[in-house]
Amino acid sequence: MKQLLTFALILAASPALAASGPFFSLHNTNFIVLLAFIVFIGVLIYFKVPGMVGGMLDRRAEEIKAELEEARALREEAQTILASYERKQKDVAAQADLIVEHAKRDAVEAAEVAKADLKATIARRLAAAEDQIKSAEAAAVKEVRDTAVTVAVGAARDLIAKQMTAADGNKLIEDAIKDVEAKLH
């Protein structure tokens, strides 16, 4: 570290050592450079450049401060909006859960109603089938009776025809006519 400091001092002192002659002479470049620097600083002060630079820096600082305030306000607004959207998202998620739950309940109820309707339909169809079976049985019994009556009448007619004489037939006809006359009057 000491060596670096010594080297820096040697480099800084070497231009001053290069000047020849007295320091306050116009032939000394270091003096001329010093005078030019002092005149430059004087001109800057005369034209109030440090005040303008300070004012420009102050305005820039105010602009930066205003931008920072605006950025803070925007950040707070963004956080508020984010919180609002998160609340809305939670509300929508809760509503979606309620809708799904309601839909599930409706589906269960609809399934139960469908089962009940199916049972009722099956019961009606079974009752209709039983009615058709009873009706078919009644028709079959009636047909059997009708056939039995027809066979019996035919057998009775054949039997009566074989055993009955013409006089007996006439007597039966006259009895039937009298019976009809008595019932009509």
Q: How many residues does the chain have?
A: 185
- Whether the CB-CB separation of 10 and 3 falls below 8 Å is answered with no
Distance between start and end Cα atoms, the chain: 162
Alpha carbons 106 and 100: distance in angstroms, whole number: 10
Helical segments of the chain, H only: 2-18, 29-46, 49-163, 166-184
Those residues whose C-beta lies under 8 Å from the C-beta of residue 15, and which sit 6 or more positions away, are 30
Q: Where are the domains of the chain?
A: 22-146
Half-sphere exposure of 134 (CA within 13 A, CB side): 6
Q: Give the distance between the most distant pair of CA atoms in the chain.
A: 195
Instruction: Kindly report the average pLDDT of the chain as a whole number.
Output: 85
- In degrees, rounded to 5, the angle at the alpha carbon of residue 22 between the alpha carbons of residues 19 and 27 is 65
Residue 146 reports pLDDT greater than 80: yes
- Does the pTM of the predicted model rise above 0.85? no
pLDDT the model gives residue 15: 53
**pLDDT, tens digit (0-9, with 9 covering 90-100), for 89-137:** 999 999 999 999 999 999 999 999 999 999 999 999 999 999 999 898 8
Q: Would you state the structure tokens that stand for residue 113, as one six-digit string?
A: 């109603």
Digit-coded pLDDT (tens) for 55-80: 999 999 999 999 999 999 999 999 99
Using alpha carbons, select from 91, 83, 112, 85 the residue that is nearest to residue 99: 91
Inform me whether the pLDDT recorded for 24 exceeds 50: yes
